[in-house]
Structure 1
Amino acid sequence: MHAEQKKAALLAYKERKQQMGIYAVVCVPSGQTWVGQTRNLDKLQNRIWFALRLGSERPASLQDAWNTHGQDAFRYDVVAQLADAETAYPEAALKELLATWRDRLGAMSMVST
């Protein structure tokens, strides 16, 4: 790859639009589900899985399920993405979507209480 191509690829990477939305972490054997909101759906699964492997993820119920069932028992699902029109005020839109999906899935929140 030439220097110009590398520079163009790096610029394109930096300028890409992040996908904001709601995600679910599902423990398949137990059926437990946790939902959360993020400004970057693409990168979040890696962060959550990393923290779970270290034993430092919250809420504690998620970490306990991970310790009991192991990584292969879990799934990361994107359940809703913000439309471009909603991104002017993403926090309000994300908060509303999170409440909707928490109720719809009967899920626990990813935020520790």
Structure 2
Amino acid sequence: MSNHRELKNQYKESMVPMGVFVIRNTKNQRVYVGSSSNLEGAMNRHRFELSTKTHRNSALLTDWIAHGPAAFHFEVLDRIAQSENPNFDYPAELATVLALWQEELHCFGAQGYNPAPSKKQA
């Protein structure tokens, strides 16, 4: 029984942190809000793409070039806790939490770097 408990604890500890992050421009207060099943990996990818001038978000890249890396702050906003339920829908939870943070931080349009969400058809 203790072996099973140890394996369960190891599994819990091995989960890669997933959640929502923000990239803040401290010069003009614009934000990019994103999510990932691997938070550190996603933020590192954004840093790398910005530093190599290959980032897909042209507005964010333009400001990165204009203001420099020191003007940007990367921050984890929310983490998704591991569920005891083996059928827990992590992607759905991540999408819900992302939508809440995007609404909270007004990351669309002139206030942010995120592209406007596509309209859902009724």
| Paired residues of 1:34 and 1:110 also in contact (CA < 8 A) | no
Quick one: which amino acid aligns to residue 81 of structure 1?
Answer: R
Q: Which runs of 5+ in 2 are unaligned?
A: 1-9, 109-113
- Structure 1 residue aligned with 2:52, among 32, 50, 54? 54
Q: Distance in 2 between matches of 1:61 and 1:71?
A: 14
Q: Distance in 1 between matches of 2:26 and 2:98?
A: 21
Partner of 1:18 in structure 2?
Answer: 16
Q: Distance in 1 between matches of 2:33 and 2:115?
A: 6
Percent identical among aligned pairs is 26
Q: Distance in 2 between matches of 1:58 and 1:97?
A: 23
Q: Which runs of 5+ in 1 are unaligned?
A: 1-11
Q: Distance in 2 between matches of 1:77 and 1:106?
A: 16
TM-score (norm: length of structure 1): 0.78
Note closer, same or farther for the CA distance 1:105–1:94 as it changes in structure 2 (3 Å cut). Answer: same
| Paired residues of 2:15 and 2:82 also in contact (CA < 8 A) | no
Equivalent pairs counted in the alignment come to: 100
CA-based RMSD? 2.5
Q: Distance in 1 between matches of 2:95 and 2:115?
A: 13
- CA shift at 1:110, angstroms? 7.2
1:1-113 correspondence runs (5 A): 16-85=14-83, 88-108=88-108, 109=114
Partner of 2:6 in structure 1?
Answer: none
TM-score (norm: length of structure 2): 0.72
- CA shift at 1:44, angstroms? 2.2
The structure whose residues are more often helix, as a share, is: 1
